[in-house]
Chain A
Amino acid sequence: MKFSNLMFAILLTAPAHIAGAVDLATVEIKKFAFEPKEITVAPGTKVVWINRDETPHQIRTDDGSFVSKAMDTDDQYEQVFAKEGDFSYVCTLHPFMTGIVHVHK
C-alpha cells in the first residue's frame, strides 16, 4: 500500500499525459456508453464502474476473464487489474457498448 500510495502521490504531480495511470480509476456508464471508453492504468489498479443509466448494464471481458453482476442504477462493480495487458470488455445486454482497459507499467 505504501508503494502504491507513493505511486499515487508521484502521479498526481506527474505531467498530464500519464495522469491516467493511478491506483484507482473510475468508469462511468452513461447514456449507454463507457466514460472513458478507453483507460490506461498501472498493474494493481482497481477500476470501478458506476452505472448512471436507468437501464441495467453488465460488463464482461472479451475473453471472459471477468464478469460483473448486472448493475442497476448507481450500482458499482470493481475489479483489480493485477497483470499487464489490454482488456476489451462489453456490456452483455448491449454488446454495442464497448470499452478497453490498458494495464501497463
Chain B
Amino acid sequence: MNEPMNPQRRKTLGCLAAWSGAAVVWTLAGGVPRALGATSPGGIAATSKHAFTFAQISDTHIGFHKDANPDVVGCLRRAAADLNALAQPPALVVHTGDISHLSKPEEFGQARELLKEIHVDRVHTVPGEHDALDDGLAGYLKQFDHDGKNRAWYSFDQGGVHFIGLSNVLNFKLGTMTSLGAEQLAWLRKDLAGVSRSTPVVVLAHIPMWTVYAQWGWGTADADQALALLKPYGSVTVLNGHIHQVLQKVEGNVALHTAMSLAYPLPTPGQAGIGEPGPVKVPAGELGKLIGTRELTIVRGRHELAMIDTPLDHA
C-alpha cells in the first residue's frame, strides 16, 4: 500500500468537469488517513471494503454570486452528486468552514438544505470567518450547533476515529491572526484527556493551523498550543480550508492539510502580481489548470506513509 508516488493513484476529478471544486475523500488505513483524491468512481478502487472513509468539502460560500463563480449552489450540488455516486460511500462529510458568504440567515438555511443532498448520516461543520459576521457565531449556531451546547467546538467518535471540530475565526488582536482562545484550548485539553494515544485523531478547523502566510492572516495565532496537546498522539490529521487550495505540512505525527474551495480559487500565498487574497477570476478554460496543481506529501508516520492526492480539473 505504500505507493504514494504511483501516478496511477493520482486520479483526477472526472465528474466535476469544471474547475470549480472538488471533494477530497479520506480513508483510514493503519491509522493514518490518506487522501485518495478522487470523487471519480475509480479513485477508491484500491480501498479496502472495511476501511472507514469520509469526505471533506470546504468554503462553499453560499451567497457568493460574483464573476469568480456565479453558481456556487450548482457546484455544491455537483459535489454532492459525486459523493453520492461513490462506490464506497463516505461514512460522513466534514465541511471546514465558510459555509456562507455573508453569514445571512437565508445563506445558512440554504446551505443546510443543500448539504442534506449528500447521502451521509451527517455533515459535520466548523465555522469560517464568513460565518461569523455581524452577530458573531449566533447565526451559524442556529443551523449548525452540533451538540446543542451553543458553541462552535465539539468532538465525536466514529469509525475508531476521534474527531474534533474547532473554531479559529474569532479572538484576534489588532493586526494579528485569529486564534482559538484560552477557553477553547482548555476544552481541548480536557477533551483529549479521555482519548487513548493510539486513537487516530482528526481535527477540523477553518483557518490553517500553521502559519501559511501571516501577511494575509493565513494562520492561527495560538495553533502551537493546540498542536502541543496533540503531539503525543500517534496519528493526528488536521483538516483546514480558508485558503482555497491544497497545501500540506507535517510535524512529527501531525499532518496538516488545506483543501480546495467549492466556490472560487484564491491566489497562492503572496502570489506575484496579485497582492491580496481575493477571488481569482480566470477564464473557464484556464481555471482548472490554475487550481490543478497536484501535490503529494509523504509522511513518515509511525505506521506507514500517508499520502494526500488531490483531484485536478483535466478537462
Q: Please give me the residue from chain A that is nearest to B133 by CB atom.
A: A70
Tell me if B's interface is mostly helix, strand, loop or mixed: loop
**Residue of A53, A88, A93 with most partner-chain B CB within 10 A:** A93
Complex CA–CA separation, A69 to B136 (angstroms)? 11
| B278 touching A31, Cβ below 8 Å | yes
Verify if A45 is at the interface (C-beta below 8 Å from B). no
Name the contact of A73 in the complex, choosing from B66, B130, B175, B177 (C-beta under 8 A). B66
Complex CA–CA separation, A32 to B279 (angstroms)? 12
Verify if A4 is at the interface (C-beta below 8 Å from B). no
Instruction: Report A's interface with B, CB cutoff 8 A.
Output: 31-33, 53-56, 58, 62, 69-70, 72-73, 88, 90, 92-96, 98
- Over the window 57-72 of chain B, the binary record of Cβ atoms lying under 8 Å from chain A Cβ atoms (1 yes, 0 no) is 0000000001110000
Name the contact of A90 in the complex, choosing from B68, B172, B277 (C-beta under 8 A). B172
Complex CA–CA separation, A70 to B278 (angstroms)? 16
| B217 touching A94, Cβ below 8 Å | yes
Q: Please give me the residue from chain B that is nearest to A88 by CB atom.
A: B174
**Residue of B132, B175, B177 with most partner-chain A CB within 10 A:** B175
| A98 touching B175, Cβ below 8 Å | yes
Q: Indicate whether A96 sits within 8 Å of B66 (C-beta atoms), given known contacts A56-B101, A58-B133.
A: no
Name the contact of B279 in the complex, choosing from A55, A58, A69 (C-beta under 8 A). A55
Complex CA–CA separation, A69 to B178 (angstroms)? 19
Verify if B275 is at the interface (C-beta below 8 Å from A). yes
Complex CA–CA separation, A95 to B216 (angstroms)? 9
- Over the window 167-202 of chain B, the binary record of Cβ atoms lying under 8 Å from chain A Cβ atoms (1 yes, 0 no) is 000001111111000000000000000000000000
Complex CA–CA separation, A88 to B67 (angstroms)? 33
Report chain B residues within 8 Å CB of A53.
276, 278
Verify if B134 is at the interface (C-beta below 8 Å from A). yes
CB distance from A61 to the nearest CB of B (A): 9
